[in-house]
Amino acid sequence: ARPGGQPPVRGLRASPRARSAMPSWVIDRYGRNDVLRFTRDMVFPTIHFPNEVIIKVHAASLNPIDLSMRSGYGATALNMKRDPLKLKSTDTEFPLTLGRDVSGVVMECGLSVSYFKPGDEVWAAIPPWKQGTLSEFVVASGNEVSFKPKCLSHTEAASLPYVGLTAWSAVNQVGGLNRSNCSGKRVLILGASGGVGTFAVQLVKAWGAHVTAVCSHDASTLMKKLGADDVIDYKSGNLEEQLKTLPLFDFILDNVGGSTEKWALDLLKKWSGATYVTLVTPFLLNMDKLGVADGMLQTGVTVGSKTVKHLFKGVHYRWAFFMPSGPSLDEIAELVDSGKIQPVIDQVFSFSEVPKAFLKLEGGHARGKTVIDVISKK
């Protein structure tokens, strides 16, 4: 005990200089690109649970969900997840930091973290209800974090976690494909040149599938390089007709949604366990429009009726979502380090150019990912 009989102060395994603020890109309201604001006074993240780690961000990347969140999509559901028991006195999620991907170095560990230690190079995808990675530091749960692939730089590594886990959830956890059952299966990927698509093409290819990739003509060289067997340009005539000339598929991954759903399921082999998985779901939108309970009900009714309708036709219809997972990232890191999956990066921006990077993403037609080099002082 210290003089005066006071108990000793409980110590965290912390870095020597206590910090209170850090540079970060935040939004204070939802809207277009002009809501992005750079600040040097963002509250420094703290470890609230013993399983958390603080990561110094070396690189981050942008995903379509960042555009959606900037505009306020999913705010109802995400706020419920941020504060399920309504414990916070303030009623606001702002200032909010966007960015889901991080590659960086562990700075501090909560007391129950045994798997990581300060100085470890790690990567992670931070779920959308937590403060994001367009910041100097970010806090993550130990079970969301994984050791970064050794063969990649931080900038390369930051391009993969969110899209990798989204594709992994769709193909493996929801779609049921894996290393041992994928060989020789015919897989169709709609919207193949974006972040999730470029990852999914490589993943099912690594597991031995025959891959048909749908993208625009200028991405066809990239698709071939990633291993796609057939590449179809959706602009060169009627896509549905082009695809109908091919043999039927065992698995379809849809990153596009919209009217595609009306005809794509007819391209599956009937009564053979063939599955259509879409990543374009109205879940968060329903909750925004209808409120939490009705939104969940409406979403359940929609997916339920579609599933039943398609089961009668002999095919499986599924929805998939991003799921944060350190263990899945461990498996992805293994595929990366063995050379089976490579990052596909469209453009790298410095930390001062975050609004420019958002505009680039908003322009669409990405060939792979938009990455932010956070640590460079440009």
- Which pLDDT score, from 0 to 100, does residue 284 have? 67
Single-letter amino acid code for the residue at 119: G
Q: Note the pLDDT tens digit of each residue in 181-217.
A: 999 999 999 999 999 999 999 999 999 999 999 999 9
**Average pLDDT, stretch 54-63?**
98
Q: Assess if residue 285 is contained within a domain.
A: yes
In a domain? residue 6 = no
* Cβ atoms of 98 and 66 closer than 8 Å: yes
pLDDT cut 90: percent of the chain above it:
76
**Nearest residue to 46 (alpha-carbon basis) of 99, 126, 107, 93:** 107
pLDDT at position 5 is 53
| pTM assigned to the model | 0.91
The CATH number covering residue 58 comes to 3.90.180.10
The strand pairing partners of 230, in sequence order, are 212
pLDDT of residue 16: 47
pLDDT for res 250:
98
Q: Could you tell me the pLDDT band of residue 297, with boundaries at 50, 70 and 90? A: confident
Q: Same domain, yes or no, for 150 and 106?
A: yes
Domain range holding 37? 21-159+343-373
Q: What band does 83 get if pLDDT is binned at 50, 70 and 90? A: confident
**pLDDT of amino acid 338:** 98
Residue 118 phi/psi, 5-degree rounding, is -55, 140
- Let me know if residue 92 belongs to a domain: yes
**What's the pLDDT at 329?**
98
Are residues 153 and 28 part of one domain? yes
Confirm whether 215 is domain-assigned: yes
Q: Tell me the per-residue pLDDT of 90-144, one tens digit each, with 9 for 90 and over.
A: 668 999 999 999 999 999 999 999 999 999 999 999 999 999 999 999 999 999 9
Contact 231, 376 (CB under 8 A): no
Q: Which tokens sit at 145?
A: 């974090």
- If asked whether residues 72 and 180 sit together in one domain, one would say no
Which of 344-350's residues contact partners 24+ apart within 8 Å by CB, and which partners?
A: 344/159, 344/195, 344/198, 344/199, 344/222, 344/226, 344/368, 344/369, 345/155, 345/156, 345/159, 345/369, 345/371, 346/370, 347/371, 348/155, 348/372, 348/373, 349/373, 350/376, 350/378
Is 181 contained in some domain? Answer: yes
Same domain, 49 and 136: yes
Supply the pLDDT for residue 146: 98
For the residues 244-249, what does the mean pLDDT come to?
98
Same domain, residue pair 229 and 312: yes
| CA-atom Rg of the chain in angstroms | 22
Q: Look at residue 9 and tell me whether its pLDDT is greater than 50.
A: no
List pLDDT tens digits, range 309-360: 888 789 999 999 899 999 999 999 999 999 999 999 999 999 999 999 999 9
| Dihedral angle sign, alpha carbons of residues 146, 328, 111, 90 | positive
Q: How many CB atoms lie within 10 A of CB 72?
A: 15
Same domain (yes/no): 138, 235: no
Strands 145-147 and 251-254: unpaired
In a shared domain, residues 246 and 186: yes
Q: Is residue 2's pLDDT more than 50?
A: no
CA distance to 14, 100, 129, 228, 280, per residue, from 294 (Å): 45, 28, 20, 41, 19
Is 162 within 8 Å of 322 (Cβ atoms)? yes
**Chain segment 162-171, per-residue pLDDT in tens:** 999 999 999 9
pLDDT at 17 over 80: no
The answer to whether position 13 is within a domain reads no
Domain shared by 189 and 99, yes or no: no
More confident residue, 287 or 167: 167
Q: Does residue 140 sit in the same domain as residue 229?
A: no
On whether residue 44 sits in a domain, the answer given is yes
Q: What is the pLDDT of residue 232?
A: 97
Question: Are residues 132 and 252 both part of a single domain?
Answer: no
Residue of 185, 133, 182, 191 lying closest to 161 (CA atoms):
133
Residue 18 pLDDT class (50, 70, 90 cuts): low
What is the secondary structure of 256-307 as a DSSP string? S-TTHHHHHGGGBPTTS--EEEES---HHHHHHHH-HHHHHHHHHHHHHHHH
Same domain (yes/no): 191, 313: yes
Predicted confidence at residue 291, as pLDDT, reads 73
Q: Nearest-CA neighbor of 130 among 183, 69, 95, 78?
A: 78
Structural domains counted in the chain: 2
Identity (one letter) of the amino acid at 235?
K
What rounded mean pLDDT belongs to the chain? 91
Pairing of strands 345-350, 369-373: parallel
Contact indicator for 39, 23 with CB cutoff of 8 Å: yes
Q: Among the residues of the chain, which ranges form H helices?
A: 64-70, 75-82, 154-157, 161-168, 195-206, 220-225, 239-244, 260-264, 283-290, 292-311, 326-337, 354-362
CATH number at residue 197: 3.40.50.720
Give the 3-state secondary structure of residue 318: strand
Tell me how crowded residue 63 is: count the other CB atoms within 10 A of its CB: 26
So what's the pLDDT on residue 301?
Answer: 77
pLDDT at 8: 45
DSSP 203-256: HHHHTT-EEEEEE-GGGHHHHHHTT-SEEEETTSS-HHHHHHTSPPBSEEEESS
Residue that has been written with the tokens 């300060």 in this structure? 118
Q: Which band of pLDDT confidence, cut at 50, 70 and 90, is reported for residue 56? A: very high
